[in-house]
Structure 1
Amino acid sequence: MKSRAPRLPRRRRSPIGAAASVLALAAGLAAPVAPAFAQDGPLSLIRDTEIEAILHQDADPLFVAAGLDPKVVQIHIVGDKDLNAFVAGGQNMFINTGLIVRAKNPNELIGVMAHETGHMAGGHLANSDIAGKQALATFLLTMGLAVAAAAGGAPDAAGALIYSSDYFATLTILSYTREQEARADQAAITYLERAGESPKGLVDFFDNFRYEEVFSGAKRYPFFQSHPISSERIEALRVRAQQQAHYGVTDAPEALAQHAIMVAKLKAFTNLPQQTFIDYPESDTSYPARYARAIAYYRDLQTDKAVKLTDALLAEQPENPYLWELKGQTLFEAGRAKQAEPAHRKSVELKPDAPLLHMNLGQTLLAEDDPKKLDEAIGEIRKSLFVESDNPFGWLLLSQAYDRKGEPGMARLAAAEEEFSLGQASEAKGFAMRARMQLPKNSPEWRRATDIVLVSKPSKADLQALAREGGVGG
């Protein structure tokens, strides 16, 4: 598991074992526009191939039912213990670790994802601009009436209108939000039914956690701040849900097992190791508990214990790529890159379509500092970037690899790609200009460097320099 920032402006994915990176997502306008889709403050996002696979396995049938392409929709895991989920930036779904851990079963989590899919497929994020404009119009109209009242000799009325202008604008937003939430509810039930899932989990989630929040003044779940829900809405949702043919469907044992693994892994990676040992004591010999303890030993720097327990799990599941990944990660972060290499190789062999596993292997080969392995390291990192070209950490590794290989032009181009993926236009342009000076003219790499310059707000002097050097290859 690795920390990273989302695939949105100023993106960053951190290296293995690094502290969680953060990203501020701006939440819109002059009024609380589209609160269901934005979250104030920094986001700490994490990557984990296994958990992402489980979430997609649960959510992809919903995306298909909604007419969305599962390969396009991105599911982002937010490292936050608060109960929350939202969509943003087009087809991007964000799910807090707190929500995943506290969902009582897969059906509840799937229900929430169905609701968020309703927002996504309904274009509610894009349409939120309409609500903002309506709210602003209401605000301006009220202020206009206040000015008219003051001009007409009614200062008290003018003062009252000015005081109420924010209130009337907020009412406009809330009315729009309630309509969106109701539509997302109904869409969720439709998608769940089409996917053969019970809508009961969505009703239970809303009912249980909303009840808990109402009767505890100490709790204010972000999910219900941005997804305001009333008892009438829950009841309407329940009535429609109970009418569905798949209402009585329950989670399959395989789904329950995967959910337990996902919860155990998240707890082990996000809680202190001591807490994991309490949550999953030695007396618990289940697979999720042993998995969690192996992670806790790794995070507690008890490398040998972590490897021993992981090896015991591998003896039972030798074809599990995620266990091989954990073993490789444990050894790599203990400074034992050469020992980590076979484990990462095995994880890639078992799951060759996972970009992060290729990244792990490339990083490990690079850390061995063996010139004979540089080309293979570059190849593995490039395989990862071919799938996820917006991963800044991958470009950083690639830049380091080319530097060690003595190819400064390629190293500067990789650095330009890194800055470009982070939204750092000025830095990207600078590296790209230097890359052009060291790359063969008119080569694909030289042209790519030129493209980066051209889309990174070049100055007049930059354009003149491009012209002197042959422009875009003419």
Structure 2
Amino acid sequence: MRALIALIPVLFSAAIAAAPASAQSLIRDTEIEIMLRDYTDPFLEAAGLIPDDVGLYIIADPEINAFVTQGQNIFIHTGLILEAENPLQVQGVLAHETGHISGAHLARTGEAMNQAAIPMFATMGLGILAALAGEGQAGAALMASSQQFGALQFFSYTRTQESSADQAALRFLNETGTSPAGLLQFFERFRYQEAFSAARRYPYFRTHPLSSARVTSLREGVASSPFVEQAAPPEEVERLERLQAKIYGFMAEPGHVFFRYPVTDHSLPARYARAVAYYRDAQMDHAREEIESLIEEEPDNPYFYELYGQMLFESGHAAESIEYHQRSVDLMPSAPLLRVNLAMSMIASEDAEYLEAAGQHLRVALDIEPDNSFAWYQLSIVHERNGDTPRAQLAIAEQAFAVGNNGRAIQFAARAMPHLEVGSVDRFRAGELMAVAQARMADEAPRQSRRDR
């Protein structure tokens, strides 16, 4: 029975999985993150939420999907951004996901799964009784259908959640003066997915099941909005097109990029996409030509300098990349990722004169993003090259703590602590890391024990 109980959440979690596990990774990009934040934060505020408390993550995956998980965290696939026909469609989806957070739907999913298990168990029990009574064929049929009964009840609950999130999204869109037409366009564009089997649907429509009643209700709500005819501002349309070109340049094979954005297309998005594709295809002369044309057109665009610096750094020209990363930081000093890029180039140049500046940039970045594990790792390199091993070990402890590796955090904090000055901030932090990491491990132990049963 223990094995059977353990199987139930597996069955349901498989049914509601947000996306396939393969070919996925989280990516960081300042330009994309800022656009998504600009779209999402007004909806969070309209929902009475604090934007800084809600995580927003980008998954490098061509599938169309977006979902909420692990509390107040929104995940969006690059595929959804690429497939959007206008900014209003992206905004509509983000407003919908905000509706899931404000409705605490994730917290209630576990209860729904437990309720859905009741008919599953009942049907399975009837099948066992039928088999024991000698009706083997009938018993097998009942047991085979037990998962379907449970899934039907669970998805009935899911559709209720989706309708609730739709209505919340309409309210947030109206309160922020944003046309809700994009949300309806997005759903109607993929309405055909309703006729597909679950296995053939896009991940978004497996976890956000459509129904005729749901679309009809949404259509009525959109029609009554005072902003329904309001188009997306031209600058936002251009912004989305740029980012779609950038994403496509990084995600698609270079040959596909050159087909979609041929050299005869001299638009800014096309040159942006080709610059990335040329660099990925090791055609640096062409990549330089494209990115330099973009910088000439927009000399105050930090993202073009960032891309140029990335191209040079990753092609083995770390020292040359410094000036471009420095320019991106000068133009956008509050962006932590740009400072991390600059520090990384300074460190990779192996010029000791850059170490102090690199450390300063990393500390500023970490003041803004204290959980940036890569920045902590880079800072450990700076400390080690300066001969400050205890602080390098403390930085490694911070890195481990940021990624949830509590055992490693304790190990390196313990190594650093005896060599840090008594009464110093660093020594206090080492002790704090050890205490919190130990508390985390103690809290996780019962859950791990339950999973191991």
Common topology (TM > 0.5)? yes
Residue 9 (structure 2) aligns with = 29
- Shift of residue 33, structure 1, vs aligned partner: 5.1
Supply the distance in 2 between the matched residues of 1:171 and 1:205 (Cα, whole angstroms). Answer: 25
- Choose 318-327 or 217-226, whichever is displaced more: 217-226
2:442 aligns with none
Q: 1:34 to 1:334 in 2, by over 3 A?
A: closer
Q: Match of 1:63, as an amino acid?
A: L
Which residue pairs with 1:411 in the alignment? Answer: 392
Partner of 1:13: none
1:349 is displaced (CA, Å) by 1.1
The answer as to 2:286 corresponding to 1:302 is no
Aligned counterparts of 2:403 and 2:197: Cα–Cα separation in 1: 41
**What displacement does 1:229 show?**
0.7
After superposition, where does 1:238-253 map in structure 2 within 5 Å?
238-253=219-234
| Residues paired across the two proteins, number | 432
For residue 426 of structure 1, the aligned residue among 396, 407, 415 is: 407
Cα RMSD after superposing both structures: 2.6
Match 2:111 to one of 106, 130, 138: 130
SS at match of 1:94: strand
Amino acid aligned to 2:338: L
> Once the 2 structures are TM-superposed, how far is the Cα of residue 181 of structure 1 from its aligned partner?
0.7
Letter in 2 for 1:168: F
Aligned partner of 1:197 in structure 2 is: 178
- Structure 1 residues 308 and 89: alpha-carbon distance in aligned structure 2, compared to 1, 3 A threshold: same
1:41 maps to a residue whose letter is A
Deviation, 1:158, is 6.4
**Hey, what's the Cα distance between the residues in 1 that align with 2:8 and 2:262?**
45
Partner of 1:344: 325
1:446 is the counterpart of 2:427: yes
Match of 2:352 in 1: 371
Contact 1:31 1:135 in 2 (8 A): no
Alignment-derived partner of residue 313 in structure 1:
294
- Asked whether the equivalents of residues 400 and 406 of structure 2 are also in contact (C-alpha less than 8 Å), the reply is yes
1:324 aligns with 2:324: no
Contact 1:59 1:110 in 2 (8 A): yes
The alpha carbon displacement at 1:210 in A equals: 2.4
The TM-score, its normalising length taken from structure 1, stands at 0.84
1:117 to 94, 98, 104: 98
Mapped partners of 1:445, 1:145: distance in 2: 64
Distance 2:30 2:242 in 1: 13
Mapped partners of 2:199, 2:431: distance in 1: 56
Deviation of 1:188 after TM superposition, in Å, equals: 1.1
Change (3 A) 1:184 1:218: closer
Partner of 1:231: 212
Structure 2 unaligned runs (5+)? 1-6, 440-453
2:197 & 2:299 partners in 1: Cα distance? 47
Shift of 1:118: 0.9
Q: 2: CA distance between counterparts of 1:229 and 1:367?
A: 51
Q: Distance between the aligned counterparts of 1:69 and 1:28, measured in 2? A: 35
| Cross-structure match for 2:3 | none
Alignment of 1:12-411 (within 5 A): 29-32=9-12, 38-42=18-22, 43-142=24-123, 162-211=143-192, 214=195, 219-411=200-392
Query: TM-score, normalization: structure 2?
Result: 0.88
Per the TM alignment, residue 442 of structure 1 is displaced from its structure 2 partner at its CA by 3.3
Amino acid at match of 1:290: R
- What CA distance in whole angstroms lies between the structure 2 residues aligned with 1:216 and 1:281? 37
Q: Quick check: which one's helix share is greater? A: 2
Moved more, 33-42 or 83-92: 33-42
| Counterpart secondary structure, 1:456 | helix
- Please list the CA deviations of residues 236-284 of structure 1 after superposition, one character each: whole Å capped at 9, or x if unmatched: 2112211111111111111110010010000001112222111111111
Does the Cα contact within 8 Å between 1:198 and 1:250 map onto a contact in 2? yes
Is 1:362–1:380's contact at 8 Å kept on the other side of the alignment?
yes
Deviations 1:404-450 (A, max 9, x none): 11000001111111112222222222111111132223322122222
- Residue number in structure 2 paired with 1:472: none
